[in-house]
């Protein structure tokens, strides 16, 4: 019998989900919330733009590096154990970041905070796989998707509010301090509510695989996260090195799987699990546009139009509001609609972003914040039917025993996509700005249009997957058990 057959509903599963989503919300919020505080950090610590860039990019980098190894660790040692350790570390390093007397201490705290956040993320999706089945799993992933969408979109609003209340000089410290009481409460509740034990085979932890994947992801992400300070020009050769390292990683993992040695990431997830490969590709491409637009909006509204960080954040809240509502609905609809739901959602995102690009080009800057609200609402409504339904469909047939590594790999692709988007779309914005005599509306319009184009690619992946697998599969389960007991 496979390990996936002994499912007994945990009576505390919804409470456990709520606690994990609070922790997940904090860790994802910290990707975008700090961006609006960078001028305050520069002033408070007396450093330059290059010094504070690592406050944002270092967190994103270590977050992405930790995902797959931490997911595999959760499968092997127990998700509760890894979740509690990661959350405790996140709280500790949040406090250290708030107390940081120098830029170096702040950057070090953020790097460590990113590792802990990356270790938390795959436990969230794996615990949903473990605690829920059938339509309930879709609903749970609906809450998860709403958490991802809202935390990413409202980071600038929350950051702006904290700075407005706490002041520009020292307000940036409270962006980190706010994690401490919330994280401690979540830590106590998680210790009481999360299920004990492990669901996967202990096996080996594959240190060679960890090193190869870490080096490969680092080589791909480093030029992107350092793009603003010339990383793409100076480190472009790392892309080729990363491709070689990832190819060696795939070969190594295939060899371990063939010998039943417990690989870090079983490559058969991509080749033998229905929908996993396509869903991972869709998520990565979608996050290029989804993550990149927030920096473009911040540049346009704050630099081009002189908005405060709070005003800039409020201008894009229609997207967050729309996606929060439809993500919850999507969790209920995904069992009935299947991949049609993500096709519908992506279509709405394309329409909404394209309309936003047109409005930015045609409407005077003084009215832009209000004028783009309807189009952003449409994009947000569609966005809510992308992240959580795609996660549900991608992980539907993944055995619970390897859910951590599978969720980590899925989110690693999303982090790489986010790194591409946050480097490429502001790059487009600045390039157009230089070529069109500092015309901010033109630059913003073309950059948002480029985001819409990346979502068109995600839509193409979804349409192909819908044609290959037109029927919505029945319940989740051990459809691919042949590697769930490896190791």
Number of domains in the chain: 2
Predicted local confidence at residue 244, as pLDDT: 94
Are the CB atoms for 372 and 356 separated by under 8 Å?
A: yes
pLDDT at 27 over 90: no
pLDDT digits (tens, 9 = 90+) for 434-449: 877 778 899 999 999 9
pLDDT digits (tens, 9 = 90+) for 210-235: 888 888 888 888 887 776 667 778 88
Are the CB atoms for 100 and 113 separated by under 8 Å?
A: no
Given 220, 247, 263, which residue is the final one in a domain?
263
The reply to whether 179 falls in a domain is: yes
Residues ≥6 apart with Cβ < 8 Å to 367: none
Predicted local confidence at residue 484, as pLDDT: 43
Q: Whole-angstrom Cα distance, residue 436 to residue 76?
A: 55
pTM over 0.85: no
The reply to whether 273 falls in a domain is: yes
The reply to whether 21 falls in a domain is: yes
233 and 311 in one domain? Answer: no
pLDDT at 474 over 50: no
Q: What integer is the mean pLDDT of 256-277?
A: 80
Task: For residue 122, give the nearest of 176, 187, 75 by alpha carbon.
Answer: 75
217 and 149 in one domain? Answer: no
Q: Whole-angstrom Cα distance, residue 302 to residue 286?
A: 25
Q: 7 falls in which pLDDT band (50, 70, 90)?
A: low
The reply to whether 374 falls in a domain is: yes
Q: Whole-angstrom Cα distance, residue 111 to residue 90?
A: 11
Q: What integer is the mean pLDDT of 260-277?
A: 80
Domain of residue 229 covers 206-263
The reply to whether 473 falls in a domain is: no
Q: Tell me which of 139-148, 257-266, 341-350, 403-412 is least confident.
A: 257-266
Q: 471 falls in which pLDDT band (50, 70, 90)?
A: low
423 and 282 in one domain? Answer: yes
328 and 221 in one domain? Answer: no
The reply to whether 483 falls in a domain is: no
293 and 259 in one domain? Answer: no
279 and 215 in one domain? Answer: no
Given 247, 263, 279, which residue is the final one in a domain?
263
Kindly report the CATH number assigned to the domain that includes residue 111: 1.20.1250.20
Q: 345 falls in which pLDDT band (50, 70, 90)?
A: very high
Predicted local confidence at residue 477, as pLDDT: 41
Q: Whole-angstrom Cα distance, residue 171 to residue 169?
A: 6
289 and 210 in one domain? Answer: no
389 and 462 in one domain? Answer: yes
Q: 201 falls in which pLDDT band (50, 70, 90)?
A: low
Per-residue buried b or exposed e for 320-341, using 16+ beta carbons within 10 Å of the residue's own CB? bbbbbebbbbbbebbbebbbbb
The reply to whether 480 falls in a domain is: no
pLDDT at 2 over 70: no
Predicted local confidence at residue 79, as pLDDT: 86
346 and 230 in one domain? Answer: no
Q: What integer is the mean pLDDT of 103-117?
A: 92
Predicted local confidence at residue 476, as pLDDT: 39
158 and 34 in one domain? Answer: yes
Predicted local confidence at residue 6, as pLDDT: 61
The reply to whether 300 falls in a domain is: yes
As a whole-number percent, the residues of the chain with pLDDT over 70 amount to: 91
pLDDT digits (tens, 9 = 90+) for 42-84: 888 877 766 777 787 788 888 888 888 888 888 888 889 999 9
pLDDT at 407 over 50: yes
Given 220, 239, 263, which residue is the final one in a domain?
263
280 and 226 in one domain? Answer: no
268 and 252 in one domain? Answer: no
pLDDT digits (tens, 9 = 90+) for 284-331: 999 888 888 888 888 898 888 888 777 887 888 898 888 888 888 887
């Amino acid at each position: 019998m496979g390990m996936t057959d002994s499912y007994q509903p945990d009576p505390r599963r919804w409470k456990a989900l709520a606690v994990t989503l609070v922790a997940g919300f904090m860790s994802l919020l910290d990707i975008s919330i700090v961006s609006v505080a960078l001028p305050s950090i520069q002033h408070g610590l007396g450093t330059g733009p290059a010094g504070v860039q690592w406050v944002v990019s270092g967190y994103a980098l270590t977050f992405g590096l930790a995902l797959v190894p931490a997911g595999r660790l959760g499968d092997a040692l127990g998700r509760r154990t890894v979740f509690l350790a990661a959350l405790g570390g996140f709280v500790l390093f949040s406090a250290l970041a708030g107390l940081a007397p120098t830029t170096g201490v702040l950057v070090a705290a953020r790097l460590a905070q990113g590792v802990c956040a990356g270790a938390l993320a795959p436990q969230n999706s794996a615990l949903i796989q473990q605690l829920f089945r059938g339509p309930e799993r879709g609903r749970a992933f609906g809450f998860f998707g709403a958490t991802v969408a809202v935390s990413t979109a409202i980071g600038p609003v929350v950051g702006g509010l904290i700075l407005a209340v706490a002041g520009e000089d020292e307000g940036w410290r409270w962006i980190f301090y706010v994690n401490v009481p919330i994280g401690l409460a979540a830590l106590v509740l998680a210790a009481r509510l999360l299920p004990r034990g492990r669901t996967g085979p202990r096996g080996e932890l594959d240190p060679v695989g960890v090193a190869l994947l870490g080096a490969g992801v680092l080589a791909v992400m480093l030029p992107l996260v350092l793009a603003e300070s010339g990383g793409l020009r100076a480190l472009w050769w790392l892309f080729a090195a990363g491709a070689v390292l990832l190819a060696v990683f795939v070969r190594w993992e295939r060899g371990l799987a063939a010998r039943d040695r417990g690989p870090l990431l079983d490559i058969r997830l991509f080749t033998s699990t229905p929908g996993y490969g396509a869903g991972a590709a869709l998520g990565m491409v979608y996050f290029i546009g989804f993550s990149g637009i927030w920096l473009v909006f911040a540049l346009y509204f704050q630099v081009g139009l002189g908005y405060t960080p709070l005003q800039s954040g409020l201008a894009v809240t229609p997207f967050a509001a729309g996606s929060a509502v439809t993500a919850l609905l999507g969790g209920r609809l995904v069992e009935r609609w299947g991949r049609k739901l993500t096709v519908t959602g992506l279509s709405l995102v394309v329409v909404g972003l394209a309309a936003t690009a047109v409005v930015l080009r045609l409407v005077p800057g003084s009215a832009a914040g209000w004028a783009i609200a309807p189009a952003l609402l449409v994009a947000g409504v569609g966005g809510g039917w992308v992240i959580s339904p795609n996660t549900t469909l991608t992980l539907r047939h993944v055995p619970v025993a390897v859910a951590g590594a599978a969720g980590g790999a899925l989110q690693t692709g999303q982090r790489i996509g986010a790194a591409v988007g946050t480097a490429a779309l502001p790059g487009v914005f600045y390039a157009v700005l230089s070529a069109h005599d500092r015309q901010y509306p033109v630059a913003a319009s073309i950059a948002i249009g480029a985001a819409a184009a990346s979502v068109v690619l995600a839509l193409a992946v979804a349409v192909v997957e819908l044609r290959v697998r037109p029927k919505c599969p029945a319940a989740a389960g051990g459809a691919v058990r042949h590697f769930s007991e490896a190791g």
